[in-house]
Structures are given as structure tokens and as C-alpha cells.
Structure 1
């Protein structure tokens, strides 16, 4: 990603994506998509580099997809945040100068925030222990970063394994704990636009929201202001823990968070199965008028499709418009698209994020 960086072509690439989305949604009578562009450079808040050694000297390297033998050596990465670019040189210089930091280092992972916080993970083909900690502490202090070391079966955390992002959505600030190795939206500026659009599409309801695939609560937090209550579900333990902390940190009290897969939610709501994880939760007390889904690239499975069809309003964020279109083929008989949007999370690639609001016919 980013190896074909050409900001002069950005507007045309975005226009091509828009047309592709229009074509995909045309069979469903969708309105004109709202378009949310990305900054043309320094938009990506995380980046991962392999190290490529030439005559024993390490270089940051990336590879074209499918080719791991021809590295593209980098000193800077224009698509990455300014904070990442500012850290790349000093970090590598420190690793070159100190064998405790640089010996058998093979990968560097950066995670940054719009507010300038940074977490860096150094990955090694050798065991690391307390002797690494001392050198790493000096580097972390010098660069003002959170620093983590990883080797097979080992993880060295000097202070904390997360940073805190602050996103502004409709003039309100939301704080998110972003954990090393957990999923976060890579394009912070577009993420803010996506959250604002979701709020606008959701409107205001005196009833409740069911959210599937809530992750770390990226959408959950702002959407909680638009509904009486929210039942949010997520399967990944790391994401559930982050979401719980984010709800606490932002003082959100009208969200019930449960660790369930989407198919388990279907079984619970239809009475097919009972789950110990739902003990003490009165499912019958919820009055859902909207369901929000942000599924993986494969889209919604058949059972979940049948579940969402039962709600008056479906708010669907998709990272793969092709599977979105396939799902819409099933939903089109009961719901119509009343709003749609394109979010350019991944400039200079074919990937795009889309959102649709479907309302019962």
C-alpha cells in the first residue's frame, strides 16, 4: 500500500471509486453517494516495515503484493502520518548504534494517533529479556514513545501496550484506547467523517440500537448519544476489553456490551440457545428499531442477513462493496437504500469503505 503514491492522480482515483460504487449500487435504486475524501498524504496512522539488510546495514522495506523477494527500500513513507515519518530515521539510527536494540531486529510496527501519540513495536529473531529493557527505556524516553519488544513467545512492555486516540465527532471529543496488535481504523481523518455520517444517518431515536461487530467501540461511543440504549456485540477478546475501557473512559452508561459472535446473537435473539454470557441481561427489555453492522470483508452470513432483515432500519458500513452488493441482493426485497456514502480510507489502492442506510419498504 502506498508504493504507487501519486497525489496528482488522487482526484481521478477517487472519481473512479465513486463510479465503481455507483455501478455496484445501481441495481438497488441507491441515491447519489455522499463522498468523503482523504487527505492526499500523511493520512495513514499505522505502518509496518520489514527490515532489509544490505552489507549488514538495515533499511526499512516494503514489498509489492505477492512479491517478497524484491524490496522497495524506504527512508520515508508519504502516506504515513507525519509522526511516523519523524520517527523512522531516529529510531533506525538508534537500533544501528546499539546492538541490544538492533541485533536480529527484523520488523518495526508503528501505531500513531491524530493527537501525536506513538507506539512502536520492535520484533526480533532472538530472545529478548531484561537487558533489552534498559536500552529500550532510553530510546522510548528520547523519542517520547511507548515501546514494546517482541520475540517468539515473549512480549516486553516497558510502560503500557496502548496509546489513546482522540476523535472529534460533531464537536464532541471521544477518547479511545488503542491496543498494540488490536484493530484500529488506519485513516483517522476519514474515520471522523465516517462517524459523523453514521450519526447523521442514525438520526435520533427513543428506542434502542443493536450493534454487531462493535470492535473497540469506534462507532458505539458516538452512536450511544442517538439511542435510548445500545446492545453491542463483539467476539474478539482484545477488542471487547478495549471497548469496555473506552466506554468507562468516556462515561458512557447506556451501552450493554456482550462477547458474542454474530451467529450467536441470532441464536440468542431468536431463542434458539441460551448463553451464560447473557446472564443478567434482559434481552426482551430492548426495543430495537435500528441495527448497525460493520462486518468483515466477507460480509454478512446468511443467518445474520435474516436477522438484520427483521429491523426497520439497517445501518451498514462495509469494507468490501462487492460483498455489500451481494448482501443487498438479499435485503432489497424488504428494504430500500435511502442514503449511501463512500469513505476513502485507503487512497492509491482499489479498496474503499462504503456506508448505506436501509429502511423498510
Structure 2
């Protein structure tokens, strides 16, 4: 996204995204997509700023794409959450006033939640130690935030290294541990729409769900209420740790979480290879009727495509509509699209999230 945007253009830009998705899905006779819009301002829960020094004074700065040496100085960022905008000025002024906080500070990262929590990471070109801790603790208490300090090879955590988000999905509130530096959906309002749509799309089921790329359990938690059992897989160790914490925090007991890549899941389920991480798990006890995938931008690899083709229903959330269309071309011979949605996670950019429910022909 460029740093210049106009909320008055939002509806037109969203309409263009909708048409782009429709055009990509024409070959597959997809139904009309449901469109879930974003707030036009204060929608982004994360923000990262470099510090730019002019006349010895630090300023927040961002850079237009491809212009890494041409700083745009910023005092407020309307696309960022209101909490981020409230904190920007007081935080920077406090760092300017206290050398233990401000000396060789080069980057500030904000992570906020719809539930009101804020975690700020201060990044330094110098070592930080217990003296930094004492000054940072005073600042954290003044602003009502959690603070982390980072310098080369060092990480100083005050309070905790994560926020706890609360998302309303259907008639239930779910709590999520979101770790500093880990992946989380940046647009909380649209994330709630995504989760609610996925829950509605799968309906009530008496069989089981296979989930690939489960991350921190963003979708896993609400989807667990619609199936007998869930087997969820994720490769990232930090995401697995958060997913386990989130299952425990929400008292979800019908999910088995396995740290495997999607290719390894394919090998395990097709009997090609055995994995030590699957010891004690009876794969034959699962009756998978639905597979849920939320892959990276590259989409599904050929082996995973062949795996998901085996199931009656495929729920596919995509962050790249072009690779989604490529994958659908492979699945079209066995499955048809019965539901479709556009989620505007990233207003004022060409990026968009989409979702399709495919059912066996």
C-alpha cells in the first residue's frame, strides 16, 4: 500500500477487487461472491516504523515501495488502530526524554488488539540490559502497555511476549494468544467475518475435519465446534506453541495438533511414510469428510492437491486469488464451487483474501 490513500475511493476499489475475483472464477461457474468490507480507517492492528533523524530529532518514518532511502515522516497513521495512534506521540516523546530508552533506537513495532491490549517492541543498535528494563517498566506503566526490547542477540521481555485477542464468532467469544513477531491476521474486523463465514460454510457435521496450515489456531478454534474431531497440522514451532496455548485457553478438547508440513501429512495419510510425531495417533480412527486449507501465497503443491481431492468437501481460504484459480483448475474435474467470498483484509492495496467451498461432483 502506498502512504497516500483516500477513504472516498474505498467503495470503488472494493468493487474492482470483487470484479477481479469474479473474472478469475468464471471458468469454474462460481456463484456470486459474498463481499465482506473493511472499516475505511483504523483497521490495521499491527504497524512497524523506522526512526528517521533530522536535526538530531527522531521521527516516525515509513517508505514508499522501492524507496528505501526516501523517508516519509509520520506523526499519525490513519489506517492503524486507534490504540496505535494514541500511543505514537507519547511513546516517542518519552524515548526522546530518557536516554536509556532513546539512545540508538532505530525501529518501533506495535501490536494491538480489538480487545484493547498493546505490545510495543523497541529495537536498538546497542546492547540493552537491566538498566533498560527499569526505565522501560516506568514507561510501560505510564502508557498501560507491554514492552519488549530487542538488540543484537538480546531480547528483554517485560510482562509477557504476547497479547490476548478476543474475537466474536457467531455467538461465542474466542481468546487468542498472539505472539510478538508471529503471524496474525492484521485486520481484526475482517478476520471475524472470515471466521464467521467459514463456520457458516461448513455447517454442522458428524464426521471429522482435516486442517492444513493451521497457524496459531485462528480457524481451528471455531471450526472445532462443527465437527466430531479435528486433526490440525502446522510446521512452524512458534505457531504450534501458540495453537496449543489457544486450545487450552478456550478449553477445546477435540483437536489433535501435529507439527508436520503439508507434504508430510500427505505422506502419512497415504501410507507412504511413518512419522515419529504421529506415534500414539490412530489415523484410522478419523473419518475426514472436510479438509480445510489456508496455504501460503504459492497455493497448494501438486501432492497436497491430490490429497485434498480425496475428500467430499474442501474449504479453501486464499491470500492470492491467482494461485487459487490455478489450484481450482486442477480440482475442477472432481469438485465444484458452491460458495464464494471476498474478504477485504488489505484496503487500498491490490491484495485480497478470498474463500471458496468446494463439494465433490
Query: Does TM, normalized by the shorter one, top 0.5?
Result: yes
Residues 96 and 102 in structure 1, CA contact (< 8 A), matched pair in contact too: yes
**1:69 CA drift (Å):** 1.2
Aligned counterparts of 1:296 and 1:103: Cα–Cα separation in 2 = 38
User: Which runs of structure 2 are paired with 1:9-158 in the superposition (5 Å)?
Assistant: 9-158=9-158
**1:2 CA drift (Å):** 5.4
**1:5 CA drift (Å):** 2.0
> Given the two structures, how large is their TM-score scaled by the length of structure 1?
0.99
> Given the two structures, how large is their TM-score scaled by the length of structure 2?
0.99
1:303 equivalenced with 2:289 (yes/no): no
Residues 231 and 256 in structure 2, CA contact (< 8 A), matched pair in contact too: yes
Residue in structure 2 matched with residue 262 of structure 1 by the alignment? 262
Residues 2 and 65 in structure 2, CA contact (< 8 A), matched pair in contact too: no
Aligned counterparts of 1:82 and 1:160: Cα–Cα separation in 2 = 22
Secondary structure of residue in 1 paired with 2:333: coil
Aligned counterparts of 1:27 and 1:53: Cα–Cα separation in 2 = 53
Secondary structure of residue in 2 paired with 1:257: strand
| Structure 1: runs of 5 or more not aligned | none
Misfit runs of 4+, over 2 Å: none
Residue in structure 1 matched with residue 286 of structure 2 by the alignment? 286
Aligned counterparts of 2:208 and 2:200: Cα–Cα separation in 1 = 16
Aligned counterparts of 2:115 and 2:299: Cα–Cα separation in 1 = 32
**1:337 CA drift (Å):** 0.4
Q: Please list the CA deviations of residues 59-96 of structure 1 after superposition, one character each: whole Å capped at 9, or x if unmatched.
A: 11111111101111100000000000000000000010
Residues 2 and 64 in structure 2, CA contact (< 8 A), matched pair in contact too: no
Alpha-carbon RMSD: 0.6
User: Which runs of structure 2 are paired with 1:275-354 in the superposition (5 Å)?
Assistant: 275-354=275-354
Q: Please list the CA deviations of residues 282-313 of structure 1 after superposition, one character each: whole Å capped at 9, or x if unmatched.
A: 11100000000000001001110110011110
Aligned counterparts of 1:176 and 1:331: Cα–Cα separation in 2 = 33
Residues 215 and 234 in structure 2, CA contact (< 8 A), matched pair in contact too: yes
Residues 51 and 108 in structure 1, CA contact (< 8 A), matched pair in contact too: yes
| Structure 2: runs of 5 or more not aligned | none
Q: Structure 1 residues 240 and 360 mapped into 2: Cα distance closer, same or farther (>3 Å)?
A: same
Secondary structure of residue in 1 paired with 2:78: coil
**1:13 CA drift (Å):** 0.3
Aligned counterparts of 1:130 and 1:306: Cα–Cα separation in 2 = 54
